């Protein structure tokens, strides 16, 4: 086999695996694989058996996998909703995410085995693969309290008057109208319910129920049932036909975990992750890297800022979090000063959460890789979903989706699932 043929085989493998996965299989590092791809160094012909084995194994897995339904992942971010639905038998067949940094994280963790597009707005709905469930965490800035306040201060429109983000809901509606999936799940901030005195949400429900004809259910769920973070989000689910779906089947743990459960362990038990190495935590010294502790100037500024607003009778200020507490909501601005969640360090200045701790705070497993800078990672986790919430909602949705699929395929009755 020639170098060119091996390179072509490598390209095929890269369409299904990350550089790191290939590197681990062939005994090299990811940077070396990157140099082969770019042609900076010749791709060794001796790789051919390993690459063919990877592709063949993947093909076998695809044939034997037990996927119960197909879904598309719109406004995907870093795939928190996707991960929840994959846990209950879903197969992702199409992804849309416009942010290049989020796309990098997404592909690093899920691969790019299917059609991945950036901006969904100009993409023809009829070109989206057929699917059973549409997932969409459509942008929330036009509806969030912070987003509305910022746009008001700048004299800009918000909600459906925001021409860049607020109208993205209608692109979701366009997709549903064209593809008619068995079900959908949409996620947004709690403030969507009250925005514009409830008119925004009223339009959304009218569109989904009256115009598209779906049986719609919605509920505000607080992520602190699953992770130590107060994070309320509205979940809107809909089914093409009336089913026995009920929020009563949702299992929300009553014993909220505490911050200590997601913090790096300084007693020698912190897991060593090869993909993190010592980026966030010094495993030899058993301490969080010092760069996450606030500088004296920043700490002094935050204290003075909080005192100023306290004197004025406002509630603005930093949020100190302790090992036995639940944090405030992690936001996309966390990279700026970390003020909403500062980790107490007793007599030392407080520190920010590390990106790995943010991943844990959002319910992502430690196998989730963070290939971007800290700034981008903070933005991504601040914009993400609490993954276990999505996994639990997927659990109670999946049987109804499967019943709809079977009903359409062979006329099976829409039996009501019995949950334990």
Asked if 81 and 39 touch (Cβ cutoff 8 Å), the reply is: no
DSSP 118: S
Q: What is the pLDDT of residue 297?
A: 96
Q: What is the pLDDT of residue 150?
A: 46
Tokens of 296: 């004296």
Match 């064209």 to its residue by tokens: 178
Q: What is the pLDDT of residue 167?
A: 67
Q: What is the pLDDT of residue 203?
A: 87
Q: What is the pLDDT of residue 51?
A: 77
Angle between helices 374-382 and 100-110 (to 10 degrees): 80
Cα–Cα distance measured from residue 407 to residue 404, given in angstroms and rounded to the nearest whole number? 5
Q: What is the pLDDT of residue 1?
A: 59
The sheet that has 348-351: what strands, in order across it?
A: 320-321, 342-345, 348-351
As a whole number of Å, the CA-based R_g of the chain is: 23
- In order of their start, the domains of the chain are 3-64 (1.10.260), 69-253+385-410 (3.40.50.150), 259-382 (3.90.120.10)
DSSP secondary structure of 278-314: TSSEETTTTEE-GGGBPPHHHHHHHHHHHHHHHHTT-
Q: What is the pLDDT of residue 148?
A: 38
**Torsions phi, psi for 53 (to 5 deg):** -65, -40
Q: What is the pLDDT of residue 226?
A: 97
Cα–Cα distance measured from residue 351 to residue 372, given in angstroms and rounded to the nearest whole number? 20
Tokens of 211: 């115009």
Cα–Cα distance measured from residue 290 to residue 296, given in angstroms and rounded to the nearest whole number? 13
Q: What is the pLDDT of residue 42?
A: 84
SS3 39: coil
Q: What is the pLDDT of residue 17?
A: 66
Active-site entry in 43, 61, 92, 140: 140
Q: What is the pLDDT of residue 164?
A: 35
DSSP 63: H
Angle between helices 30-38 and 3-14 (to 10 degrees): 120
Model confidence over 222-257: pLDDT tens digits?
A: 999 999 999 999 999 999 999 999 999 999 998 889
Asked if 148 and 205 touch (Cβ cutoff 8 Å), the reply is: no
**Torsions phi, psi for 135 (to 5 deg):** -110, 135
pLDDT tens, residue order, the chain (420 aa): 577 777 777 877 776 666 777 877 777 887 888 888 888 888 887 777 777 777 665 544 444 446 789 999 999 999 999 999 999 999 999 999 999 999 999 999 998 777 899 888 888 889 999 999 999 987 755 444 444 344 444 455 444 444 434 468 888 888 999 999 999 999 999 988 987 788 888 889 998 999 999 999 999 999 999 999 999 999 999 999 999 999 999 999 988 899 999 999 999 999 999 999 999 999 999 999 999 999 999 999 999 988 887 877 776 679 999 999 999 999 999 999 999 999 999 989 999 999 999 999 999 999 999 999 999 999 999 999 999 999 999 999 999 999 999 988 877 677 655 555
Asked if 135 and 185 touch (Cβ cutoff 8 Å), the reply is: yes
Q: What is the pLDDT of residue 50?
A: 78
Q: Is 43 a catalytic residue?
A: no
0.85 cut: is pTM over it? Answer: no
Tell which residue, 220, 215, 219, has the closest CA to residue 238.
215
């Amino acid at each position: 086999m020639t170098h060119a043929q091996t390179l072509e085989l490598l390209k095929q493998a890269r369409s299904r695996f990350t550089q790191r996965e290939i590197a681990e299989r062939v005994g090299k590092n990811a940077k070396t694989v990157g140099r082969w791809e770019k042609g900076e160094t010749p791709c060794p012909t001796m790789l051919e058996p390993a690459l063919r084995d990877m592709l063949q194994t993947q093909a076998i897995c695809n044939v034997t996998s037990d996927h119960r339904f197909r879904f598309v992942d719109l406004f995907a971010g870093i795939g928190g909703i996707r991960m929840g639905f994959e846990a209950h038998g879903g197969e992702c067949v199409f992804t849309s995410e416009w942010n290049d940094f989020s796309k990098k994280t997404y592909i690093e963790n899920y691969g790019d085995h299917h059609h991945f597009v950036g901006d969904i707005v100009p993409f023809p709905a009829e070109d989206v693969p057929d699917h059973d469930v549409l997932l969409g965490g459509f942008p929330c800035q036009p509806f969030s309290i912070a987003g509305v306040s910022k746009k008001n201060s700048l004299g800009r429109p918000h909600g459906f008057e925001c021409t860049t983000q607020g109208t993205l809901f209608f692109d979701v509606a366009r997709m549903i109208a064209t593809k008619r999936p068995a079900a959908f799940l949409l996620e947004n901030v709690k403030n969507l319910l009250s925005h514009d005195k409830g008119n925004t949400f009223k339009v959304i429900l009218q569109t989904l129920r009256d115009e598209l004809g779906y049986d719609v259910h919605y509920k505000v769920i607080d992520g602190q049932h699953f992770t130590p973070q107060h994070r309320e989000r509205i979940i809107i689910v809909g089914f093409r036909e009336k089913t026995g779906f009920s929020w009563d089947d949702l299992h929300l743990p009553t014993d909220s975990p505490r911050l200590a459960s997601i913090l790096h362990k300084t007693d020698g038990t912190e897991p060593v992750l090869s993909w993190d190495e010592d980026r966030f935590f010094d495993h030899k010294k058993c301490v969080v890297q010092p760069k996450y502790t606030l500088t004296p100037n920043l700490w002094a500024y935050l204290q003075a800022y909080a005192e100023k607003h306290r004197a004025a009778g406002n509630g603005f200020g930093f949020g100190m979090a302790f090992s036995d507490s639940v944090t405030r909501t992690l936001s996309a601005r966390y990279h700026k000063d970390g003020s909403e969640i500062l980790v107490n360090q007793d007599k030392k200045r407080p520190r920010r959460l590390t990106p790995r701790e943010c991943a844990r705070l959002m319910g992502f497993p430690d196998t989730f890789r963070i290939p971007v800078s800290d700034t981008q990672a903070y933005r991504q986790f601040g914009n993400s979903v609490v993954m276990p919430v999505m996994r639990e909602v997927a659990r109670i949705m999946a049987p109804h989706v499967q019943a709809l699929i079977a009903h359409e395929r062979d006329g099976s009755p829409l039996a009501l699932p019995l949950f334990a």
